[in-house]
Amino acid sequence: MEFAELIKTPRVDNVVLHRPFYPAVEGTLCLTGHHLILSSRRQDDAEELWLLHSNIDSIEKRFVGSLGTIIIKCKDLRIIQLDIPGMEECLNIASSIEALSTLDSVTLMYPFFYRPMFEVVEDGWRSFLPEQEFELLSSLTDEWRLSCINKEFSVCPSYPAVVIVPKSIDDEALRKVALFRHGSRFPVLSYYHKKNGMVMMRSSQPLTGTNGRRCKEDEKLINATLRAGKRGYIIDTRSLNVAQQARAKGGGFEQEAHYPQWRRIHKSIERFNILQESLIKLVEACNDQSHNMDRWLSKLEASNWLTHIKEILTAACLAAQCIDREGASVLVHGTEGTDSTLQVTSLAQIILDPRCRTIRGFESLVVREWLQAGHPFQQRCAQSAYSNSKQKWEAPVFLLFLDCVWQILRQFPCSFEFNEHFLIMLFEHAYASQFGTFLGNNESERSKLKLQQKTMSLWSWVNRPQELNKYKNPLFEANSLVIWPSVAPQSLQLWEGVFLRWNRSSKFLDEAYEEMVTLIEYNKQLKAKVNALRRQLAELETDDRMQENP
């Protein structure tokens, strides 16, 4: 298919652009296969808007006489307006945008056509390989091995080609365990706690069914992570009621009779369809123009967004507490093990592991616990909060994780090497990007799409020194301690940097942040000058004493 077939009107003059924080701009609108471009021709006010079609969530058309207006609502929650002279041109542009923003084929998306304008000094596709992670683990313990059982993605389509499993469990046993777990997602290592050697594993639900089916190899696998005389904890991210209902459909949970050394705890985290409705309600509240505080607070509460944040953080804190304070190993799973499970395992690592609070450590965490672990980004991020299409598999699971990280960052502002803008950048690229990193639903799909050969990795761009500087936290001081976030309602706040950044108030917040950074830098320079003066004064005093006592 040629993109030209979808573009009914490639160019329109005298289009007026309205967008947050900027004065209206008149210019020429052009449509390409992947971008909507508006550029003003005025010498004194040269401005350009480049908007990826994949970032467009929905469009609305309005007409007053011969003047048409298109309101574009984006996946990054921006809303822009285009005033187009001529009804036919407006209809053609709207029709073209709708077609180009809903392409069926992944290979027609912009990452397959993007060619970087920067020098590539690091191949981001090879920056965070499982082999590198295993090498770090091997320097701490010899109880684990790297299994290539899933080399052709034949055992579990949503797992990476290689996984880390207990050394005492052979591949034949893993095959049997895979048949006993939903989607063949058998338990694999997620995290090793250096302090006490305890581990966190993740999987999907066991297929016990109503007959109480068991798998001795599964029991042996998870027991292999326990120390002699120790108990472990299974954190199920479903309520007990939902887990029991799953048994009727062939799923279920670990029976105490077959897993006597494990204590099961249910920590309910809502499933993806509920989360998507929550996001839609939250964004609707944030766009409420009534300026009525009671109505705004009522809408915010009704969205349940902060309740979901609290549920996820509570489960993550529990997992971290079991590992660090109880000295117990943990297995985390829900139903599929691709959504709430990953939220819990990755946030627990943020709490426990200072490496995950550095920029590269966090990137490694996203690759390991989200991309390689099989979170279905293509499905979950197909739509954002504005889409008019019927919801299928969309859900802000990754955005909720980033929001939870922001909550912890806000409570521990000196413990993270990265700043809020780093998290916002990841949110934006998960929904629409020129890079191939978040395309596909798992490593198997990415392999078939040949993303490593045909697209550029986000990490190749982010990890350039000039780009990294934007995302560094000036308050950062390496903290080797475990950090325990508060989940009390008064400790959790709306993430204004995402949900209110296109509102007028957020601009002042950005300006305040920049002013704070400037003051911090000035303070550092002032301290350096004071220290230099102190050194000079000390040297002068020494000289004086030497002259007094020759």
> 234 pairs with which residues across the strands?
264, 331
Q: Check: CB of residue 173 under 8 Å from CB of residue 150.
A: no
Residue with tokens 């990754």: 398
Sheet holding 67-74, edge to edge: 48-52, 35-39, 22-31, 11-19, 79-85, 67-74, 56-64
CA distances from 355 to 143, 209, 277, 299, 415 (A): 22, 40, 34, 38, 10
For the full predicted model, state whether its pTM sits above 0.85. Answer: yes
Contact (CB, 8 A) for 427 and 76: yes
Tokens 């005492």 belong to: 168
Instruction: Give alpha helix (H) positions in 101-156.
Output: 130-138
**pLDDT digit string (tens) for 125-169?**
999 999 999 999 999 999 999 999 999 999 999 999 999 999 999
What pLDDT shows up at residue 519?
Answer: 58
Which residues fall within 8 angstroms of residue 269, CB to CB, at 6 or more apart? Answer: 237, 238, 308, 311, 312, 315, 334, 340, 343, 344
User: 3-103: what CATH class?
Assistant: mainly beta
Rounded Cα–Cα distance for residues 75 and 53 (Å): 10
Q: Copy the structure tokens of residue 137.
A: 């683990």
Beta strand 262-266 with 232-236 is parallel
483 CA to centre of own chain:
20
Residue spans of alpha helices (H) in 209-286: 216-223, 240-248, 272-286
What SS3 string covers 430-454? HHCCCCCCCCCCCHHHHHHHCHHHH
DSSP structure string for 153-211: S-S-TTS-S-EEEETTS-HHHHHHHHHHBGGG---EEEEE-TTT--EEEE---B--TTT
Q: What counts of helices (H) and strands (E) characterise the chain?
A: 19, 14
Can you say whether the dihedral through the CA atoms of 523, 528, 534, 536 is positive or negative? negative
Lookup: tokens for 367: 């690759």
| pLDDT tens, N- to C-terminus, the chain (550 residues) | 678 889 999 999 999 999 888 889 999 999 999 999 999 876 555 678 999 999 999 999 999 888 999 999 999 999 999 999 999 999 999 999 999 999 989 999 999 999 999 999 999 999 999 999 999 999 999 999 999 999 999 999 999 999 999 999 999 999 999 999 999 999 999 999 999 999 999 999 999 999 999 999 999 999 999 988 899 999 999 999 999 999 999 999 999 999 999 999 999 999 988 999 999 999 999 998 777 888 888 999 999 999 999 999 999 999 999 999 999 999 999 999 999 999 999 999 999 999 999 999 999 999 999 999 999 999 999 999 999 888 789 999 999 999 999 999 999 999 999 999 999 999 999 999 999 999 999 999 999 999 999 999 999 999 999 999 999 999 999 999 999 999 999 999 999 999 999 885 444 444 544 554 555 556 666 766 777 777 777 777 766 666 666 5
* 3-class state of residue 523 by DSSP: helix
The predicted-structure confidence for 380-430, as pLDDT tens digits, reads as follows: 999 999 998 887 899 999 999 999 999 999 999 999 999 999 999 999 999
Positive or negative, the CA dihedral 446, 450, 455, 457 is positive
CB-count exposure of residue 172 (10 Å: 0-12, 13-18, 19+) = exposed
Q: What is the pLDDT of residue 542?
A: 67
Handedness of CA 193, 372, 116, 396 (dihedral sign): negative
Dihedral sign for Cα atoms in the order 462, 466, 472, 477: positive
Length of the chain: 550
Backbone dihedral angles phi then psi of residue 347, each to the nearest 5 degrees: -70, -35
Looking at residue 543, its pLDDT comes to: 65
